[in-house]
Amino acid sequence: MAAVLVALLLVSACGSSSGKSGSASTAKHDSATTVTTKLLSFMPGTLTVKAGTKVTWVAGDGIGHTVTTGTFTVGSDGLRTAQHPDGKVNMPLSKGHDVSYTFTKPGKYTYYCSIHHGMNGVIVVTP
Ligand SMILES: [Cu+2]
C-alpha cells in the first residue's frame, strides 16, 4: 500500500473550462479509452485497448473512488473478499479529477476501487 506512483499518472481537471469554442463535440472523453464510474461500478467493466493507449477514468458520480491496480477475489455476491494492490496505479478519483494511465505492455490488468468492494474492473491491452 505504500507505493503510490503519482509520478506515472496524469491528472487532468476535465471539469474546468478551457474557453475554447468551435469544438466538434462537447464530449471531452473518448468512450473507447474512458472508464466512467456509475452506480458504484466501473463502466465498462472490461475495456480493451491497444498497447500504448492512455486510459482515462472519469468520476461520473459525486462519490470519491480510487483506481487501484492489483489482484482480487470476488465472492458469489459480487463483492471483493480480498485485494492485493500491485503498486502500479493507486490514485484517488473524484468528480473533475480524472485519472489517466498509459498501458504500454499487452496483458490483462485488473483494478478496483479500494473504497467500494463492488467496484472491480479489467483493462485488456492488446499488441
Ligand atoms: Cu468507489
CATH of domain 33-126: 2.60.40.420
Ligand 1 centre and the CA of 23: distance in Å? 32
Ligand 1 centre and the CA of 19: distance in Å? 31
Ligand 1 centre and the CA of 65: distance in Å? 4
Ligand 1 centre and the CA of 25: distance in Å? 28
The mean per-residue pLDDT over the stretch 92-120 comes to 97
pLDDT, tens digit, 9 for 90 and up, residues 21-80: 433 444 578 999 999 999 999 999 999 999 999 999 999 999 999 999 999 999 999 999
Rg of the Cα atoms in the chain: 15
Ligand 1 centre and the CA of 116: distance in Å? 4
pLDDT of residue 53: 97
Ligand 1 centre and the CA of 22: distance in Å? 35
pLDDT of residue 22: 39
pTM for the whole structure: 0.78
pLDDT, tens digit, 9 for 90 and up, residues 11-34: 444 443 343 443 344 457 899 999
pLDDT of residue 6: 38
Is the per-residue pLDDT at 96 higher than 90?
A: yes
